Structure 1
């Protein structure tokens, strides 16, 4: 065993909420909110609240499934257990790709605000690459240190955003909401489609379920609590932007609004908060992605060598994600990154909602020996969740949808690769890390394999 792989199940519900909030309150606030106001005007408030409601439908499905399968893996695990081997693989690969792509967007936001804080005019991609290198190195050291830093970063940025929201509420006027729909209903709905990306971080809690104390109870609570907290923060920030009455809105609007409401010192404070925020969001993404890979390798969905363990972390997975993130950072197109992320994550969420529908209809799948979170009103909310995800997919440009599907299908190569003897040893090590019996690593009858010389 390399470097003594070990695992401590010690994240409290507060730490779990911090990871989810830290993931969601990142570039989705500091970069995306100004872009949404530019598209939807004052109806951006409605866009964020409506999108939050749609996400809650899927959040209920995640909460129910997390209470039954309180392990790492999140949407991958649920689709794998209920829909079968290959749908589970697609869900897991889509999750891994989506959070990796989202990391690139968040770190570009880090680069933008690093410029604003320092007064420099460098290409934001430089700062993004620096942030990517630092966080990759941090996560190669293990989750314990990353978790401590995450809680501190989240507390800092929530305090800063809280001050901004308070000032916005004090200065907002009814006239700031007129006209409410400058872009019409279409502009408001376009905002909803873009915002979906900002809420996907709630899944991080489910991805790390095996490391949360009392996970059957606390993972569902943390999932729903984090969505509610973030919806309030997003809405409050939009109100602050409107109260600032900026001449135009864009990716730097939160900084500009802080200067209007607080003065030049306020701009510096908010820029610092943005740096904390984007780093914590990217950090949570990297941690969540590594958990997915561990789970997939443990169930032989991917060859073990792609999840080689060092310091309890799948270093090959982290390095692969860093490479993909670097490529997207160099491309540097924010809209492209958001839309590509939406294709992959909406695919996963659709599969998770379908899993919840089957779970509700087939009571025999429920564990008889313990309590679990039950979705109210039967299949209604999972059905609404699946429908909303498909509807959001259809709002995206066809080339983006085809590219996203291509990315998912290309990943299927991993599904059919035969593992090496070294990879088999890694799988045994991962199962020990996850505290699962080694003898449970049986050949998956639903997985195709091809021999690779």
Structure 2
């Protein structure tokens, strides 16, 4: 049973987010650089294909528990402040301040990766296309000027769309989310049909000479990093044009598609795609 809502609606915010638009926001924020790169380069060496899959599924279950708490929070305080608003109302301004800063640190920990996603994916799919112009060494990595310019343009365009807000950003996010899912399904079919990829012939299933349970636990510990972002819809609660009670289904849907992305990319997908084509 939810407490009576004590939050006053903000008249400046238009209720323009539909359920599909909210799902697209949650899914789009959860699926990023890590979903496409980390399964093949980080998770597989730690736990192998089957260990990674089990760990990601368990990790999604853990995130679902967090999602249930967010669902309760959004129904109790349908405020765009999200975690900050809840902590402030329940525990006071000091706790709200700390909660907001911890959440900010979480987003800062992943924004650098998603900001460089386009150049990294282009390096794997289209080698040499963006690797032109002056070159810099940053933290031991080679960074080309053209890559930086392209990444900056993409960030600028995304920022402009978000600033526009309302139905425009919701429509763009929905289209991009559906295109992403379509691309995932297409690539999955190509790899499965032409690349002869099957879980039945994946060997070794786990990393040899290591505890299988420990391998799965390692992935569970890392999995939240791959899913963080689906809770971002709590910062758009006042823009929902539907009941906040439906948010649990939206977050579950975002997590299911998020784990589907990570599970199928539980491989060096760019190499398999090249071989399939």
Same fold, TM-score > 0.5, yes or no: yes
Distance (whole Å) between structure 2 residues aligned to residue 160 and residue 210 of structure 1: 32
Please report how far the alpha carbon of residue 117 of structure 1 lies from its aligned counterpart in structure 2 after TM superposition. 4.3
Specify which of 47, 55, 67 is matched with residue 47 of structure 1.
55
Please report how far the alpha carbon of residue 6 of structure 1 lies from its aligned counterpart in structure 2 after TM superposition. 4.2
Residue 38 of structure 1: aligned partner: 45
Residue 18 of structure 1: aligned partner: 24
Residue 361 of structure 1: aligned partner: none
Aligned ranges 1:83-232 → 2 under 5 Å? 83-120=91-128, 122=131, 123=143, 126=148, 127-167=150-190, 171-182=197-208, 183-184=210-211, 185-232=213-260
- Structure with more relative contact order (C-alpha pairs < 8 Å, separation 6 or more): 2
| Alpha carbons of structure 1 residues 73 and 165: separation in structure 2 relative to 1, 3 Å | farther
Three-state SS of the structure 2 residue aligned to 1:57 is: helix
Larger of the two Rg values belongs to structure? 1
Please report how far the alpha carbon of residue 258 of structure 1 lies from its aligned counterpart in structure 2 after TM superposition. 1.7
Contact 1:20-1:226 within 8 A present in 2 as well: yes
Q: CA deviation digits over 1:351-410, x for unaligned, max 9?
A: xxxxxxxxxxxxxxxxxxxxxxxxxxxxxxxxxxxxxxxxxxxxxxxxxxxxxxxxxxxx
Contact 1:66-1:220 within 8 A present in 2 as well: no
Contact 2:79-2:238 within 8 A present in 1 as well: yes
Please tell me the root mean square deviation across aligned C-alpha atoms, in Å. Answer: 2.4
| Alpha carbons of structure 1 residues 173 and 65: separation in structure 2 relative to 1, 3 Å | closer
- Structure 1 residue runs of 5 or longer lacking an equivalent are 242-252, 264-453
Contact 2:14-2:166 within 8 A present in 1 as well: no
Q: Does structure 1 residue 257 correspond to structure 2 residue 272?
A: yes
Q: CA deviation digits over 1:127-172, x for unaligned, max 9?
A: 4333323323333333443222111111111111122334555630
Please report how far the alpha carbon of residue 53 of structure 1 lies from its aligned counterpart in structure 2 after TM superposition. 1.0
Three-state SS of the structure 2 residue aligned to 1:41 is: helix
Aligned ranges 1:401-440 → 2 under 5 Å? none
| Alpha carbons of structure 1 residues 173 and 202: separation in structure 2 relative to 1, 3 Å | closer
* Alignment TM-score, normalising by the size of structure 1: 0.50
Q: CA deviation digits over 1:61-97, x for unaligned, max 9?
A: 1111212222212222222222221111111222234
Distance (whole Å) between structure 2 residues aligned to residue 214 and residue 137 of structure 1: 26
Distance (whole Å) between structure 1 residues aligned to residue 161 and residue 108 of structure 2: 16
Distance (whole Å) between structure 1 residues aligned to residue 152 and residue 221 of structure 2: 28
- Structure 2 residue runs of 5 or longer lacking an equivalent are 1-10, 132-142
Aligned residue-pair number: 245
Distance (whole Å) between structure 1 residues aligned to residue 199 and residue 222 of structure 2: 26
Q: CA deviation digits over 1:194-249, x for unaligned, max 9?
A: 221111111112121111122422223212222233223322332xx2xxxxxxxx
